[in-house]
């Protein structure tokens, strides 16, 4: 009879790694979750981050890292199934619900997440946060986009250029 | 990875500031390709500031935008009267709601009266003006990049068919392929005796080889 555990050398408890934020907070997380980061994946495969060592992340503060890891932990099981081609509709709906709620956050937190997802190269998170910003500006006029994103008001020169362009593409601004 | 867009990777700021993501062309590009594919989207976004305008007009960005939105929206349809009338304009009926509704009147000034639409691909329209004996490759949304090409010498306007992203034109004895995206014509070396032509392809490839296109000289520089 086959043994019930079908592990590939990964028997027992899941392997844990430690990540250290820029403000020196230590986060212990499953290697599978941290490996969603392309940047960390190789280090982890090489056995880094285990024991008392920890992987320092000088570009990510603890508040942002905790949020990033929340995402990774939630998405790790689906990612382990190769992007979850055989996930059930219920699983997918649950992840979607999580994602929607996950990005329902302050703009400054969102911006920090964008930078962290970029630095850590977490593809799904990069896509999620970019989509969130796109959703914030879609259907808005150029001035509304500037206000939404906190840009300063346009200079008279910029304003003149905008007006000229709007005449040409008037239909797009109705 | 196909939608991973980058023009130039700027060095990331060492201390993340709130505006940092939008100062990075790569990250800004990733945001902008996720805007909806409607025709008003990019004209609007390109007005936000000079940097956005530069990024949005970059061909690499536009390619990523198209790749990301695999299915382009239907903007409307062109039509003419059944009795082809040299004095009449082509009519256009938009199907989208504002702000993506492109008014028909916008097109009337751009086309020679009596022109006939013979095909649309990649947001470009191939128009034929028998009166002036020329083809026009026309971009209705930007109104830019118009290009007129004289009928290839033997072409008398016999027939046409669709071929991948191109139009397939044939005459009494010659066959042409018009790539609407690049506004280029290619004459095939094969000759035909008069019949109808049907392009036959083994599969519909996403990418194509363009280098074999022969560019016919534009008749009128726009």
In this prediction the ipTM stands at 0.85
Domain's final residue, options B53, B73, B93: B73
- The lowest-confidence range among A24-33, A156-165, B92-101, B179-188 is B179-188
pLDDT for position A15: 86
- From chain B, pick out residues whose CB is under 8 angstroms from the CB of A146: 48-49
Claim to verify: residue B58 and residue B92 sit in the same structural domain: no
Claim to verify: residue B105 and residue B130 sit in the same structural domain: yes
The number of angstroms, rounded, from the C-alpha of A32 to the middle of its chain's C-alpha atoms is 16
**Position with higher pLDDT, B126 vs A118:** A118
pTM: 0.71
Report residue B6's pLDDT band, with 50, 70 and 90 as the boundaries: very low
Tokens at A106, concatenated: 């302050």
A79-117 confidence digits (pLDDT tens): 777 655 566 778 888 999 999 999 999 999 999 999 999
Claim to verify: residue B62 and residue B84 sit in the same structural domain: no
**Position with higher pLDDT, B92 vs B130:** B92
Claim to verify: residue B91 and residue B123 sit in the same structural domain: yes
Separation in Å, CA of B158 to nearest CA in chain A: 37
What does CATH list as the number for A16-138?
3.30.710.10
A48-76 confidence digits (pLDDT tens): 777 678 899 999 999 999 999 999 999 99
CB A115 to CB B31 under 8 A?
A: no
Claim to verify: residue B130 and residue B197 sit in the same structural domain: yes
d(CA B101, CA A174): 9
- Mean per-residue pLDDT, A151-163: 87
d(CA B113, CA B184): 23
pLDDT for position A2: 40
Tokens at B101, concatenated: 């509704």
Count of structural domains within chain B: 2
Claim to verify: residue B147 and residue B119 sit in the same structural domain: yes
Claim to verify: residue B138 and residue B127 sit in the same structural domain: yes
Claim to verify: residue B16 and residue B113 sit in the same structural domain: no
Q: Is the pLDDT of residue B40 over 80?
A: yes
B55 membership: H or E segment, kind and range? helix B50-56
pLDDT for position A25: 94
- Mean per-residue pLDDT, B94-122: 73
d(CA B39, CA B94): 12
- From chain B, pick out residues whose CB is under 8 angstroms from the CB of A141: 44
| Contact with chain A for residue B20, Cβ under 8 A | yes
Claim to verify: residue B5 and residue B111 sit in the same structural domain: no
Claim to verify: residue B87 and residue B129 sit in the same structural domain: yes
**Position with higher pLDDT, A129 vs B73:** A129
Query: Which of B213, B210, B206 minimizes the C-alpha distance to B66?
Result: B206
CA dihedral angle for residue A119, residue A122, residue A123, residue A125, rounded to 10 degrees: -100
Residues of A with a Cβ under 8 Å from any B Cβ are 59, 61, 107-108, 111-112, 114-116, 118-119, 126-127, 130-131, 133-135, 137-142, 145-146, 149-151, 154, 158, 162, 165-166, 168-169, 171-174
The full length of chain B comes to 222
Domain's final residue, options B13, B41, B73: B73
Claim to verify: residue B67 and residue B90 sit in the same structural domain: no
The domain in which residue B10 lies consists of 1-73
| Residue-range domain boundaries for chain A | 16-138, 140-174
Domain's final residue, options B40, B73, B106: B73
Claim to verify: residue B55 and residue B107 sit in the same structural domain: no
| Contact with chain A for residue B99, Cβ under 8 A | yes
């Amino acid at each position: 009879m086959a043994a019930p555990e079908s592990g590939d050398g990964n028997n027992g408890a899941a392997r844990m790694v430690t990540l250290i934020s820029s403000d020196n907070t230590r986060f212990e997380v499953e290697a599978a979750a941290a490996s969603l980061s392309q940047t960390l994946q190789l280090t982890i495969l090489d056995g880094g981050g285990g024991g008392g060592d920890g992987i320092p992340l000088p570009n990510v503060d603890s508040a942002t890292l905790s949020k990033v890891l929340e995402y990774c932990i939630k998405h790790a099981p689906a990612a382990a199934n190769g992007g979850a081609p055989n996930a059930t509709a219920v699983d997918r709906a649950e992840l979607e619900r999580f994602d929607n709620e996950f990005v329902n956050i302050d703009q400054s937190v969102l911006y920090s997440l964008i930078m962290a997802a970029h630095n850590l190269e977490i593809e799904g998170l990069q896509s999620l946060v970019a989509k969130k910003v796109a959703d914030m500006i879609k259907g808005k006029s150029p001035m509304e986009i500037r206000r939404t994103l906190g840009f300063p008001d346009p200079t008279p020169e910029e304003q003149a250029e905008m007006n000229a362009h709007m005449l040409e593409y008037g239909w797009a601004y109705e | 990875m196909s939608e991973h867009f980058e023009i130039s990777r700027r060095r990331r700021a060492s201390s993340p500031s709130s505006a940092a993501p939008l100062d990075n062309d790569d990250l800004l590009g990733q945001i902008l390709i996720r805007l909806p594919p409607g025709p008003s989207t990019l004209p609007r976004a390109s007005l936000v500031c000079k940097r956005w305008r530069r990024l949005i007009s970059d061909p690499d960005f536009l390619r990523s935008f198209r790749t990301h939105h695999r299915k382009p929206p239907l903007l409307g349809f062109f039509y003419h009267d059944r009795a082809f009338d040299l004095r009449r304009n082509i009519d256009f009926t938009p199907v989208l709601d504002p702000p993506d509704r492109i008014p028909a009147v916008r097109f009337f000034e751009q086309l020679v009266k009596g022109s006939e639409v013979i095909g649309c691909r990649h947001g470009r329209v191939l128009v034929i003006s028998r009166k002036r004996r020329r083809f026009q490759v026309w971009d209705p949304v930007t109104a830019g990049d118009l290009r007129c090409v004289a009928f290839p010498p033997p072409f008398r306007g016999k027939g046409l068919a669709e071929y991948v992203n191109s139009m397939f034109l044939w005459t009494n004895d010659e066959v042409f392929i018009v790539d609407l995206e690049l506004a280029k014509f290619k004459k095939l070396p094969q000759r035909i005796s008069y019949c109808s032509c049907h392009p036959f392809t083994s599969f519909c490839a996403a990418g194509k080889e363009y280098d074999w296109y022969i560019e016919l000289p534009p008749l009128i520089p726009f």
